Structure 1
């Protein structure tokens, strides 16, 4: 089945069972255009519950009409992920303060991990792993998320996939965070016993295209993480991505750029930085 046929089938499903099917979502979509170039900017959430109908309407059409799919990183395999993690894992991690270490072991045990599961890792890895576990139990996973589905459809149709970053580079950003910032990340995860309600609010705001609320939620999260985390995870990457997209504007064709929604909202976002580079960006959904 071609991508266009598959998208048509998805749209048909959303109309065929109006009572049983969940309402289609309308996440925010932007576009930058000139005479021979179109670049769509679509903000994603990296995990969703199955059956979340987001690939409809203008988003589906924009993707189907694109020659290239751009993601943060290229699709990867578990083996490649393991290999990349090994590269950034320190030979001898810095020891955690005793109370933080005690809390980490307790939470790891509660979530089904061996107490020593994170002894050989940095705090950022423990934080991201422990944060994902309750979400997984609540039905969230990368499988239904935009990056996964878009990559699968692109592969099926022969659409080129060009990443903005490498897996090694992205993991390296986390590994390079100062130890105090990493410990703050871990402390926040341990303090938050149930991240599911916040994730539900993020997904609800994302699905309505409510970028103001989404920005408040994500900005609050970044503020709690501290300036070093925001600088590394958002500001530097947004600046680099905007420069890359500006170069693509000089090349003919249509490109669909799908990156985390936090990169497309608020001060210093990719659309705002593109405007600063003289490229008009218009919200279309």
Structure 2
């Protein structure tokens, strides 16, 4: 699984979270308990899109969150929209005067125009974005076409619960940090990233990956989630390698350090990050364990 991992993008739509309908609570995603010197943190692997029937989350989540002084997330979903727009302008826009998409081969440009239309994106706006950001928007559109909603993300539900009970919401990263990572690819590889994404959409591979990811998360299928993480680590494509190396492993190191600081400061906390950050050879739980933290995978 290599593409539905861009947490920065999903945060664009967290700003309009809505109330989910109640359903029978069951295990979702992955849940860890970490402890150090008498302090305890529950670490939950989230999905950045959702359906109404995913909620409420199971009782252990609600109980742990109810006892927590702080909910830590990758990004604070309540950030003002002006901050989002500023970060996109600074990190996500093509340089003035750049040839941009006009320099694409005619066949690829025609395909891009078709996918933008199919994804119901505003062409006049998204064609001003850099290719990796545009590729990510196309990815999200594949989720949307299957009915999954960003306003029903795990983070949106958790934030509503936390704020209702007076818990602090802590941001582990920033929009600037997340968007700036997309500039790390060399110029030719940025366009290869977009080409690979378009090919995956046309072939149906992206749609299958999205469906597999949601199904594994919604049933807390440990074997399936671990298999997705393993495939991600083996993906040698430009896009897959970049996601694994930069958007997962590099970010995992910073997330682990921030979570360790929080664990040391506060006796009971709750943290929630994208589920793939909690899986694989250099996952957040593994990095915490290497720092002397006791780690238990609940499911």
> Which TM-score band applies after superposition, normalised by the shorter structure?
0.7 to 0.9
Q: CA deviation at 1:131?
A: 1.6
The aligned runs of 1:164-203 (5 Å cut-off) are 164-191=172-199, 192-193=201-202, 194=204, 195-203=206-214
Q: Which residue of 2 aligns with 1:284?
A: 298
Which stretch has the larger CA shift, 71-80 or 251-260? 71-80
Equivalenced residue count is 268
Which residue does 1:129 correspond to in 2? 137
Q: Is the 8 A contact 1:84 1:167 kept in 2?
A: yes
Q: Tell me the distance in 2 between the aligned counterparts of 1:115 and 1:247.
A: 43
Pair 1:272-2:279 in alignment: no
Q: CA deviation at 1:35?
A: 4.1
The aligned residue for residue 62 of structure 1 is 64
Residue aligned with 1:256, SS? strand
- Counterpart for residue 267 of structure 2: 253
Q: What are the within-5 Å matches in structure 2 for residues 196-215 of structure 1? A: 196-215=207-226
Question: How do 1:1-285 residues align onto structure 2 when only pairs under 5 Å count?
Answer: 14=23, 24-53=26-55, 55-75=57-77, 76-88=79-91, 89-92=93-96, 93=98, 95-96=100-101, 97-98=104-105, 99-113=107-121, 115-191=123-199, 192-193=201-202, 194=204, 195-221=206-232, 223=235, 224=237, 225-285=239-299
Q: Whole-Å Cα distance in 1 between the matches of residues 295 and 243 of structure 2? A: 27
Contact 2:54 2:218 in 1 (8 A): no
**What TM-score results when the alignment is normalised by the length of structure 2?**
0.80
Kept in 2, the 8 Å contact 1:177–1:229? The answer is no
How far does residue 180 in structure 1 lie from its aligned partner after superposition? 3.8
CA drift of 1:219 comes to: 4.3
Distance 1:110 1:27, change over 3 A: closer
RMSD of aligned Cα (Å): 2.5
Aligned in 2, Cα 1:109/1:209: closer, same or farther, shift over 3 Å?
A: closer
Q: 2:207, 2:251 → 1: CA distance?
A: 27
Report the more deviating stretch, 47-56 or 258-267. Answer: 47-56
Structure 1 alignment gaps of length 5 or more? 1-9, 15-20
Q: CA deviation at 1:273?
A: 0.9
For residues 245 and 25 of structure 1, do their structure 2 counterparts lie closer, same or farther at Cα, with a shift above 3 Å needed?
Answer: closer
- How far did 1:84 drift? 1.7
Q: Which runs of 5+ in 2 are unaligned?
A: 1-19
- The higher radius of gyration belongs to 1
Q: 1:33 to 1:218 in 2, by over 3 A?
A: closer
The more displaced of 32-41 and 73-82 is 73-82
